């Protein structure tokens, strides 16, 4: 069927996402295609930031009782439907680097098979490999690289944890999450999925794919803005299995008891390092392109 300018315009008019651009404060005449590096600013962002600044000014210390302290879990529950997770499986906290470190420690700390190798993906965004190397250096675990384009199955012997991106940041290659997750599990290892370049841009079904662990950021396709916190996911069946290695005050079972010894407060509070480092500013509430209503907050 021949394509004409009129037919293209008609398709635009019928597109259910035709007005989606109107949610964003883009400069006049700009076609913004760099959401993989920094998402555009939602029009609701400035008002939300102003409201939070007013709350801070007016409430002062009482602001902690306005939803600041429990923001990681509360925001995680709002984000969960976007990535195919359930309530109680997602925490919005810290950044991808710290979250990978925490998950590596959590997984390897409960590994009873004797496996102590961490496999990073060659050609992946370098921070994932950097933090895996750093964790292995301080823990004594072995770090390995999967060569770019290499056969994953041939590199899983002795491996406890694999860190993989669903979407390659340079090539755009999309991994089959369900098939790859099963492959890793069948070899007795765990996989931490990095969703930095897929969350908010592609339909994701962590539960449906059998994924147990994942991380991602909110400042790219989730339009959380510069400095917005990342998130981590742990499937409900694999929670409360051990400790993560960065034990912060915010993760204590009784933070205001100020006890000397650390007692984790359940899975997701225990993954938070300290008091919230990001004001829980509501940014926007549009419809997701894939049907889920969601909110991303700082």
Q: Return the domain boundaries, the chain.
A: 77-246+276-297
pLDDT of 291 above 60: no
pLDDT of 132 above 60: yes
pLDDT of residue 288: 36
Quick one: tokens of 289? 């392109």
Distance CA 213, CA 185 (A): 12
Residue of 169, 163, 118 lying closest to 141 (CA atoms): 118
Using 50, 70 and 90 to split pLDDT, how confident is the model at 250?
A: confident
Is-contact 229 255, C-beta < 8 A? no
pLDDT tens digits for range 36-49: 999 999 999 999 99
Distance CA 179, CA 36 (A): 25
Q: Is 223 left (phi over 0), alpha (psi -120 to 50) or beta?
A: left
Using 50, 70 and 90 to split pLDDT, how confident is the model at 67?
A: confident
Distance CA 146, CA 166 (A): 15
pLDDT of residue 269: 63
pLDDT tens digits for range 69-99: 888 999 999 999 999 999 999 999 999 999 9
In the chain, what percentage of residues exceed pLDDT 90?
Answer: 69
What is the fold of 77-246+276-297? 3.40.640
Judge if pTM exceeds 0.85.
yes
């Amino acid at each position: 069927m021949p394509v004409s300018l009129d037919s293209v315009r008609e398709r635009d008019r019928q597109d259910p996402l035709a007005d989606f651009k109107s949610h964003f404060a883009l400069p006049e005449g700009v076609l913004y295609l760099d959401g993989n590096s920094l998402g555009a600013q939602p029009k609701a962002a400035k008002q939300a930031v102003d409201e939070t600044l007013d709350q801070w000014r007016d409430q002062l210390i009482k602001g902690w009782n306005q939803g600041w302290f429990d923001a990681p879990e509360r925001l995680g529950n709002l984000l969960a439907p976007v990535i195919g997770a359930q309530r109680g499986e997602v925490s919005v906290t810290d950044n991808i680097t710290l979250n990978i470190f925490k998950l590596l420690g959590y997984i390897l700390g409960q590994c009873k098979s004797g496996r102590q190798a961490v496999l990073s993906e060659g050609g992946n965004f370098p921070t994932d490999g950097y933090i895996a190397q750093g964790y292995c250096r301080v823990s004594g675990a072995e770090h390995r690289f999967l060569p770019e384009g290499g056969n994953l199955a041939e590199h899983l012997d002795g491996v406890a944890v694999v860190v993989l991106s669903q979407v390659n940041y340079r090539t755009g290659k999309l991994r089959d999450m369900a098939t790859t997750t099963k492959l890793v599990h069948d070899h007795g290892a765990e996989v931490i999925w990095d969703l930095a370049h897929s969350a908010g841009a592609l339909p994701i079904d962590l539960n449906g794919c059998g994924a147990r662990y994942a991380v991602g950021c909110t400042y790219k396709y989730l339009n959380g803005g510069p400095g917005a916190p990342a998130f981590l996911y742990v499937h409900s069946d694999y929670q409360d299995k051990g400790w993560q290695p960065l034990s912060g005050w915010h993760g204590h079972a009784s933070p205001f008891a100020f006890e000397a010894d650390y007692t984790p407060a359940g899975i997701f509070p225990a993954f938070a390092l300290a008091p919230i480092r990001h004001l829980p500013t509501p940014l926007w509430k549009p419809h997701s392109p894939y049907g889920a209503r969601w909110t991303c907050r700082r």
